[in-house]
Amino acid sequence: MIPKSFIQDLLNRLDIVDVVERHVPLKKAGANYVACCPFHNEKSPSFTVSQSKQFYHCFGCGAHGTAIGFVMEHVGLGFVEAVEELARGAGMEVPHERSSAAETYQKVAPDLYEVMQTATRFYREQLKQSPRAIDYLKRRGLSGEIAAKFGIGYAPEGWQGLAAAFPDYQSDTLSETGLVIVNEEDRKRYDRFRDRIMFPIVNVRGQVIGFGGRVLDKGEPKYLNSPETPLFEKGRELYGLFQAQKAVRAAQRVLVVEGYMDVVALAQHGVEYAVATLGTATTPYHVQKLLRLVEHIVFCFDGDKAGQKAAWRALENALPHLQDGKRISFLFLPVEHDPDSFIREFGKESFEQRVQEAMPLSAYLLREVSAGLDLRSQEGRNQLLQRAKPLLTAIAAPATALLLRKEVAALAGVSQAELEALYEITPVARPVVRKAPQRAGRSAPSGDRRLLQCLIAQPALGARLPADWQGDGPEVEVISALLAVLREAEYGLSGPALTQYFQGTVHERMLAAAEADMLSWGEGFDVEGEFVGLMSNFDKDRRRLEFQALQSKVAHGGLACLSEAERERYRQAGR
């Protein structure tokens, strides 16, 4: 775990304008900076960055957060990775609180990255010295430029080839990174990768964290990957993402394929927005990571049984993470082709036409759940409902869930309400209740909303909030949560550190809305004066309610029913 105090220090040292401008050109607009949003397509800028308040907000898509949140969303990093990336740029070293063996395991010694880099250089040098390996790559249509871009190398034959690159072949770092296997019986060591084309697996910061090795001729396994190591967790990484980042951003589309050679061959022919899973099915983390980067994911699989199975796993893992307004599609190539062979035979234009015509997730889901069923019969429609239930109930995106429920209900010959009742799920669409027309213009924020904004702007004000404070708006719960965090931190947190603490919680949306309203505050906005006014109003309301309660007691039992202290408060309040 990263200590909260370090997050505070990091955010205090960063300027969000500098962080965002590394990726998005900003223009000054009054007290803030604006740009076209990097998270959705737009022609007029609705993406606003506040230098004084140190957060960004898009009025178009609702994207919102601190400098850490921006790096997570824009670069596709996890929280720890984003903090480490920003800390490096600020010249800070990230401390880690060791609360468990698992967390200790995640802390990686810097020399492991150096070991992987040394192995990469060794494999690349070996490729230059192997006419057989070079000839293999040429036959696959790869140029030297593409091989260099992806750092492709060759692991030579022989049991201990890496001894030429590492004088201390007995070092534990070689087995810890998966480069060397240690026989448990006799403790003898040998290289994991032998006589294989080597594909370095690179993280989003450009560091080599693992390898994939492909046989040159016939042999099993065809592909061999690095094992799980402190550097490499295959369910969280995607081959080629580092090289594809620029093209992926430009196209707002990513193509997910199954093999290293598919990614490299597509790049050779100008399709540079492809990535590959690393010997695993597509994981929920892969889907989340890619949806942070692009508007459209296209899964591209072979048309054989294995490809169909992989596609269905991808769909199942994607459903809980679907986002309205973003697309996921499925492209199935002819059985005799994979992306590598297809693009080599038919070219870029034909391949990209296939990508454009990829089947939307909704169409693929409906096709599969109704496959082989006689929907004219009650039994067939019943089976359809049973097949669709775990899929439809997994979808959280409201519009997507609504449309798919409607389609499945229509196929099954039931109403949407009947389907939702059968599945025991909350209706996405409720009956429309007509409201009186609202007056034009924005209503003034409530007292609780303004108090929440004051605490965000100056968290230290929380120490001055009366112990008997009570609110009555929807903000009460989030204010209470903020105060609990502030008390624990002895009111020493800054606003950005405070809101960063609540990223990913149930309070995130309300905090974002409150901060978005704060963008209209002028440079000279008196936060403390606003807070004092709110406390004065609170005190007046408290005294009024107290007087009303005393009045009620007097009306029922006279002054005699009041204590001496209550009589004094009654006389004071009545003046």
209-250 pLDDT tens trace: 999 999 998 778 888 999 999 888 888 899 999 899 889 988
Per-residue pLDDT for 1 more than 80? Answer: no
What would the mean pLDDT of 343-362 be, rounded to a whole number? Answer: 96
Beta-bridge partners for 574: none
**Confidence bin at 88 (pLDDT 50/70/90):** confident
Residue 212 near residue 223 (C-beta atoms within 8 A): yes
Listed residue (179, 9, 196) closest to 92, CA to CA: 9
Q: Rounded to whole angstroms, how far apart are CA atoms 253 and 298?
A: 7
Listed residue (260, 261, 220) closest to 237, CA to CA: 260
**Confidence bin at 102 (pLDDT 50/70/90):** very low
Is the Cα dihedral 507, 510, 512, 514 positive or negative?
Answer: negative
Residue 38 near residue 25 (C-beta atoms within 8 A): no
- Of the CA atoms within 13 Å of residue 503, those in its CB half-sphere come to 20
Q: Is the peptide bond before 221 cis (omega within 30 degrees of 0)?
A: yes
Q: Rounded to whole angstroms, how far apart are CA atoms 366 and 347?
A: 31
Whole-number CA gyration radius for the chain: 30
Where in 234-347 does DSSP place strands (E)? 253-257, 274-276, 296-301, 327-332
Q: Which residue has the tokens 């213009």?
A: 441
Residue 359 sits at φ, ψ, to 5 deg, of -75, 125
Per-residue pLDDT for 385 more than 60? Answer: yes
129: its two tokens: 């010295």
- 426 vs 459, higher pLDDT: 459
Q: Are strands 64-65 and 32-35 parallel, antiparallel or unpaired?
A: unpaired
Question: What per-residue confidence (pLDDT) applies to 440?
Answer: 40
Per-residue pLDDT for 257 more than 80? Answer: yes
In degrees, rounded to 5, the angle at the alpha carbon of residue 295 between the alpha carbons of residues 291 and 298 is: 80
In angstroms, the Cα distances linking 461 to 373, 469, 495, 542 are 64, 13, 11, 20
Listed residue (170, 160, 218, 217) closest to 192, CA to CA: 160
Least confidently predicted of 88-97, 112-121, 304-313: 88-97
462: its two tokens: 């929380």
Q: Rounded to whole angstroms, how far apart are CA atoms 480 and 462?
A: 10
Least confidently predicted of 237-251, 425-439, 461-475: 425-439
pLDDT in tens, 261-303: 999 999 999 999 999 998 778 998 899 889 878 899 999 988 7
Question: What per-residue confidence (pLDDT) applies to 108?
Answer: 46
Q: Rounded to whole angstroms, how far apart are CA atoms 569 and 574?
A: 8
Considering 202-206, 296-300, 549-553, the range whose residues carry the highest mean pLDDT is 296-300
Q: Rounded to whole angstroms, how far apart are CA atoms 567 and 569?
A: 5
Listed residue (154, 247, 248) closest to 195, CA to CA: 154
208: its two tokens: 């080599």
Question: What per-residue confidence (pLDDT) applies to 438?
Answer: 43
Q: Rounded to whole angstroms, how far apart are CA atoms 381 and 374?
A: 7
Residue 238 near residue 276 (C-beta atoms within 8 A): yes
67: its two tokens: 């400098």
pLDDT in tens, 162-196: 999 999 999 999 999 999 999 888 889 999 999 99
Question: What per-residue confidence (pLDDT) applies to 568?
Answer: 63
Residue 260 near residue 308 (C-beta atoms within 8 A): no
pTM of the model: 0.64
What would the mean pLDDT of 2-25 be, rounded to a whole number? Answer: 87
What would the mean pLDDT of 524-542 be, rounded to a whole number? Answer: 83
Question: What per-residue confidence (pLDDT) applies to 443?
Answer: 53
Least confidently predicted of 148-162, 340-354, 424-438: 424-438
Per-residue pLDDT for 326 more than 60? Answer: yes
Name residues whose C-beta falls within 8 Å of residue 560's C-beta, 6 or more positions apart in sequence: none
**Confidence bin at 429 (pLDDT 50/70/90):** low
Q: Rounded to whole angstroms, how far apart are CA atoms 153 and 33?
A: 45
- 129 vs 109, higher pLDDT: 129
In angstroms, the Cα distances linking 15 to 50, 54, 519 are 10, 7, 17
SS3 28: strand
Ordered alpha helix ranges (H), 252-338: 260-268, 284-293, 305-318
Question: What per-residue confidence (pLDDT) applies to 264?
Answer: 96
In degrees, rounded to 5, the angle at the alpha carbon of residue 481 between the alpha carbons of residues 485 and 491 is: 30
Share above pLDDT 90 across residues of the chain, in percent, rounded to a whole number: 45
- Of the CA atoms within 13 Å of residue 202, those in its CB half-sphere come to 20
Where in 21-90 does DSSP place strands (E)? 27-29, 32-35, 47-50, 55-58, 64-65
What would the mean pLDDT of 23-40 be, rounded to a whole number? Answer: 87
Name residues whose C-beta falls within 8 Å of residue 441's C-beta, 6 or more positions apart in sequence: none
Per-residue pLDDT for 159 more than 60? Answer: yes
Question: What per-residue confidence (pLDDT) applies to 203?
Answer: 84
Residue 113 near residue 231 (C-beta atoms within 8 A): yes
User: Can you say whether residue 300 is alpha, beta or left, with left for phi > 0 and alpha for psi between -120 and 50 degrees?
Assistant: beta
Task: Write down the mean pLDDT value for the chain.
Answer: 86
Question: What per-residue confidence (pLDDT) applies to 528?
Answer: 87
Cβ neighbour number for residue 362 with a 10 Å cutoff: 16
Least confidently predicted of 100-109, 148-157, 222-231, 327-336: 100-109
Name residues whose C-beta falls within 8 Å of residue 14's C-beta, 6 or more positions apart in sequence: 54, 67, 86, 90
